[in-house]
Amino acid sequence: MSGKFAAKLEIKGYDDGRNTIEGSYDFKQARFVVPLLQIVKPVGMAAQGRSRIELRNQRIVSVPRFELDAPVIKAEGRAQFHGDGVTIRLLRIDKLVAGRTNLTANIKGTTKGAKTVTLTGEALDLQPLLKASEKKPEGKEEEKTPPTELLANLARVYFAPDRYVDAVKGKLHHDGARWRRISVFGKVGAKAAPFSIDYAAGAKGRTLKARSADAGAALRALNIADEIRGGRLDLGGSEPAGGKRKGLAGNITIENFRVSKAPTMARLLALASQQGLANWASSDKGIEFKEFKARFRSMDGLLYLSDARAVGSQVGFTFAGAINLEKDTAKLNGTVVPLYSLNSAISKVPLLGRVLVGEKGGGILAVRYSVNGPLKNPQITVNPLSMLTPGLLRKLFDIGNATPTPEDEKPKAPDVLKRDPRYER
Domains of the chain: which residue ranges?
A: 1-72, 100-226, 248-425
Can you give the pLDDT at residue 10?
Answer: 95
Q: How far apart are CA 223 and CA 233, in angstroms?
A: 16
Q: What local confidence, expressed as pLDDT, does residue 275 receive?
A: 86
pLDDT, residue 343, reads: 54
- Write down the pLDDT at residue 124: 96
C-alpha–C-alpha distance, residues 352 and 357, integer Å: 8
Amino acid at 309: R
In the sheet that holds 39-41, the strands lie side by side as: 2-3, 30-34, 39-41
Q: For residues 351 and 344, what is the distance between their CA atoms, to the nearest angstrom?
A: 14
Beta strand ranges found along 175-314 (DSSP E) = 179-188, 193-202, 205-212, 228-240, 248-259, 287-299, 302-311
Q: Residue 349, CB half-sphere, CA atoms under 13 Å: how many?
A: 13
Q: What is the pLDDT of residue 241?
A: 85
Distance from the first to the final alpha carbon of the chain = 51
All residue ranges of the chain with pLDDT < 70 are 133-143, 339-365, 384-425
- pLDDT for the residue 345: 52
CB count within 10 Å of CB 184 equals 18
Could you tell me which of 277, 298, 280 has the C-alpha nearest to residue 411?
298
Query: Whole-prediction pTM value?
Result: 0.82
